[in-house]
Amino acid sequence: MLAIQHLSKQFGTLKALSDVNFTVAQGEIMGLIGQNGSGKSTTFHSILNFLKYDGQISWNNAPITEAVFDEIGYLPEERSLMPKLTVEQQIIYLARLKNQSAKLIRPQIDGWLKKFSVKGKRTDKIKDLSKGNQQKVQLICTLIHRPKLLILDEPFSGLDPVNVDLLEQAIIEAKQQGTAIIFSSHDMGNVEALCDRLLMLKLGKVVLNGRIEDVRNQFGKDRLFVTTDWEEQRLKQLEHVVEVTRLADKKYLLKLDDPVAGRAIFHALTQGDYIEEFSQQAPSLDEIFRMKVSDQDA
């Protein structure tokens, strides 16, 4: 388990991190979210001992030492491959830094290239690959030694939907193998789809921390998704409905000022008959993110 206790970091007068606390268990995925400059990369760099910090960071109840780095896979936000190396040379070089032998890694390369649908051969030079395929090679370098702790800084950046799916599958597979995973993303859809927990930073401070559903439910189930023959104006006249948004033909989003009103609205809309859709939900993660960003007290 990765455990962060009272993590703080200051650059001159800038307080980059202030008393950050969280854990990531084995077989668990945590999403680290926040605006640019909120402290996400500084958190990652602290875990990896790239910089000095105040507080405590431990892996399986022990400090993170040089030996532990062999168990860590790290994908930086700024991709960095050596363009003159072949794909095979690049993968083996980085694997050797994790104390993996070329004899062990070489037979796995073709399988990983196929897994990520890399358009290129192991003998191709990195510089001759497209940017997207270079990114896939870097992901292979991050994963091929099967790390027990996986740190991904904006891993989905620049990937098309097909390749996002490939990466999501690789992350889920690593989780199933017991890897503790933490990744940052500006796409709340990725976080909501993959993560067990999330941590949101704002100006270096934790403003959200917990399981995805628990975080959403903190804000109350004040959204109603309904499919109905009622006209928009009639929906607006329902008690406790403060806003109506038409999403498609006969499909609406109702925002309530009191989640308890959902039951009464259900009876009003159905009147004992069938209704195609009636779903009462908490705000989406994207909505919550925007709320916390604009919250002056957060």
pLDDT of residue 160: 86
Domain contains 293: no
- Same structural domain for residues 251 and 171? no
Residue 83 lies in a domain: yes
Look at residue 50 and tell me if it is in a domain.
yes
Residue 297 lies in a domain: no
Are 213 and 103 contained in the same domain? Answer: yes
- 227 and 212 in a single domain? The answer is no
Q: Are residues 206 and 238 in the same domain?
A: no
274 within some domain: yes
**Over the stretch 42-56, which tens digit does the pLDDT of each residue have?**
999 999 999 999 999
Confidence of residue 77 (pLDDT cuts 50, 70, 90): confident
Identify whether residues 129 and 157 lie together within a single domain. yes
pLDDT, position 297:
63
Looking at the fold, whether 77 and 209 belong to one and the same domain comes out as yes
Do 233 and 205 have their domain in common? no
State pLDDT tens for residues 186-231. 999 899 999 999 999 999 999 999 999 999 989 999 999 999 999 9
Check whether residue 228 and residue 96 sit in a common domain. Answer: no
- Number of domains the chain is built from: 2
Is 231 found in the same domain as 140? Answer: no
Question: What's the pLDDT at 272?
Answer: 87
Q: β-strands 62-63, 223-227: how paired?
A: unpaired
Q: CATH no. for residue 186?
A: 3.40.50.300
pLDDT tens digits along 135-184: 899 999 999 999 999 999 999 887 888 889 999 999 999 999 999 999 99
Comparing 154 with 298, the larger pLDDT belongs to 154
How big is the chain by its Cα radius of gyration, in Å?
23
Structure token digits, residue 274: 């069938």
State which of 168, 188, 217 marks the end of a domain: 217
Write the CA distances from 26 to 65, 120, 230, integer angstroms.
Answer: 18, 34, 49
pLDDT at 240: 96
Same domain (yes/no): 22, 96 = yes
pLDDT tens for each residue of 167-181: 999 999 999 999 999
> Mean pLDDT lowest for which of 12-16, 128-132, 173-177?
128-132
Residues 19 and 68 in one domain: yes
Residue 195 CB-density burial (10 A; 0-12 exposed, 13-18 middle, 19+ buried): buried
Residue 125 DSSP class: B
The model's confidence at residue 298, banded by pLDDT at 50, 70 and 90, is low
**Mean pLDDT along residues 1-26:** 96
Residue 289 is assigned to a structural domain of this protein: no
Residue 267 confidence (pLDDT) above 60: yes
Strand 223-227 to 251-256 pairing: antiparallel
Q: Which two tokens stand for residue 60?
A: 């399986």
Residues 102 and 207 in one domain: yes
Task: Look up the domain containing 207 and give its range.
Answer: 2-217
**CATH number, domain with residue 237:** 3.30.70
Q: Can you give the pTM of this predicted structure?
A: 0.86
Give the number of residues written for the chain. 298
Between 5 and 76, the more confident residue is 5
